[in-house]
Amino acid sequence: MTRGLTQAASDDRRMPPLSVPLRGLTAALVALFALDSMLLPGLLGLPTPLVATFALLLPLLLAFISWKLMSGERRIDLWTLILCFVVAAILLILGGEGRLFYATPDWQIRDAVLADMGNHRWPFDYWLDGRTQLLRAPVGMYLVPALLGGASQLGRDWALLAHNSLILGLLFAQGAALFETRRARLIALVVFIMFSGLDVLGNIIHQRMVGWAYWDHIEVWAANYQYSSHITQIFWVPQHGFAGWALALAYLLWRKGLAPIGLFAASIPLVALWSPFALFGALPFALFAGLSVLRSGSWDWCDVAFCALALALALPALFYLAAGAGSVGGGPLPPNGGLYILFMMLEVVPFLWLLLRDRTKGVDRTTILIAGACLLLMPLWKIGANNDFEMRASIMPLALIAIAFAEWAGRLELREEKAWFLVILALGSVTGAAEIARVFRLAPSPAPQCSLAGAWDRQTGFVVPHASYFAVRDAFPFKIHPAERVNSAQPAHCWDRPWNVSRSDLARKHGHP
């Protein structure tokens, strides 16, 4: 490692001053995800001075280790970095954060979670279904904004926007490090943002077969089959998207020799509090990576120590997420025959076909094959009352395919190949374009007035059982003594003005496509 640090110092001296080292961006991301794991014990009742000490010291320790383990050779120029943060902020604002534009109905629940965490002393509980219950949800996205914004609605809204813009900007910048030239990085950014399956063709087929289709959220064409576009992830479920993309990037940095295996291994538990589903999507790649480094011997005890420390920090989050999780339910889900085949032909096969027949041999075929196998199998398993497992566990493999697709685009020379790329990109971009167009037609989202328990049955979206976000106190492996109970009395209206929704959003309320 000493030789690597000496080389890194030499490389750093040769680089232009207006650039940022990749290892600095990575260390910042590691610290931010670790911070959430350190703040969670405060939500569960650990004394504030102890939580503050852990939150100040341990994320910095993990960041320092990741900095030391990575080479300083790869850097990101300042203008690319600025572009990444500006694009990230614009996308999140268009997705409704900051309450300047329309937000999708999923934010009816998310706003309520953030409001409860900002308005009440930690830990707090609810009286639901005739018993006391605690919030048990992927709260990683809310902890810092709730602390910064407190009881101020405006403060929480803008703290969330700033927090998420920082993380998404860092993810975009980290992804830029995978590409050598500014042109390649720009292509990759456009491809990644607009990446989607060919939902527009599926929606046309649906309309011709049944006589109608939704054109504002077109991914519902295949009923309960859905692999969400990246715009959809940002607008609807940024916490899941960020977690899956962080894992995909850590994996690719290891695969390309820009980061040690310890970074990928440590990232898996650290993002659990943002999206437990993302962990399922990472497991096949973690198995492959583990077998690869064991066979080649390309690991050392620093990797093991880094991963072990990250796992130790994430243990409270893992126990928290596991509390009462068995009541959510799940199991095998037989495929819906022809619809499953059509879904795969439009969402997965076009990308696999183009990437696996790449004549330049620049595609990481093993990674693409693993990603393809995951995407073929994920719709055959269900967790919870809806298709969340399929939609969220697929984030990492979809991101890997999107980045490989962007890399492939940068190597194209034949006119026929360029034409195929443009056709696939253009058709896929319709999905995200429809999401963006909707925010200009509907009013910005109103502020929440009900608690999470009050908004649960009044939400516009599909209502799932309470077990998705709540657990009884006895389900937790440690004693929690609530300092405050969220008031069971709810206002007559959960929002200060009507929440304008589209037809497809109303259909989701009843479980229809």
List the chain domain ranges: 2-322+336-509
pLDDT value of position 497: 86
Report the alpha-carbon distance of residue 157 to residue 127 in Å, rounded.
27
Q: 383 in helix, strand or coil?
A: strand
Report the alpha-carbon distance of residue 319 to residue 207 in Å, rounded.
45
For residues 456 and 117, the answer to whether their CB atoms sit within 8 Å is: no
Is the pTM higher than 0.85? The answer reads yes
For residues 317 and 273, the answer to whether their CB atoms sit within 8 Å is: yes
Q: 18 in helix, strand or coil?
A: coil
State the 10-residue block means of pLDDT for the chain, 513 residues long. Answer: 42 62 97 98 96 97 96 92 98 97 95 98 95 96 98 97 98 96 95 98 96 93 95 98 98 97 98 96 98 95 96 97 86 92 98 92 95 97 86 97 96 91 97 97 94 92 86 93 93 87 57 39
Report the alpha-carbon distance of residue 141 to residue 371 in Å, rounded.
26
Quote the distance between the C-alpha of residue 437 and its chain's center.
22
Report the alpha-carbon distance of residue 505 to residue 499 in Å, rounded.
11
Q: 299 in helix, strand or coil?
A: coil
pLDDT value of position 496: 84
Question: Which residues lie closer than 8 Å to 88 by C-beta, 6 or more apart?
Answer: 164, 165, 168, 169, 171, 172
Report the alpha-carbon distance of residue 399 to residue 245 in Å, rounded.
6
Report the alpha-carbon distance of residue 262 to residue 274 in Å, rounded.
20
| Helical (H) or strand (E) element with 243 | helix 238-255
Amino acid, single-letter form, for residue 153: Q
For residues 375 and 348, the answer to whether their CB atoms sit within 8 Å is: yes
Report the alpha-carbon distance of residue 104 to residue 442 in Å, rounded.
10
Token pair in block for residue 414: 């034949």
Burial 159-186 (b: 16+ CB within 10 A, else e): bbbbbbbbbbbbbbbbbbbbbeeeebbe
DSSP 130-196: TEEEEE-S--TTTHHHHHHHTT-HHHHHHHHHHHHHHHHHHHHHHHHTT-SSHHHHHHHHHHHHH--
Token pair in block for residue 315: 């243990």
pLDDT value of position 8: 43
Q: How many residues does the chain have?
A: 513
pLDDT value of position 506: 53
Token pair in block for residue 7: 């080389």
For residues 456 and 416, the answer to whether their CB atoms sit within 8 Å is: no
| Helical (H) or strand (E) element with 82 | helix 78-94
Report the alpha-carbon distance of residue 50 to residue 174 in Å, rounded.
32
Separation of first and last alpha carbons in the chain: 54
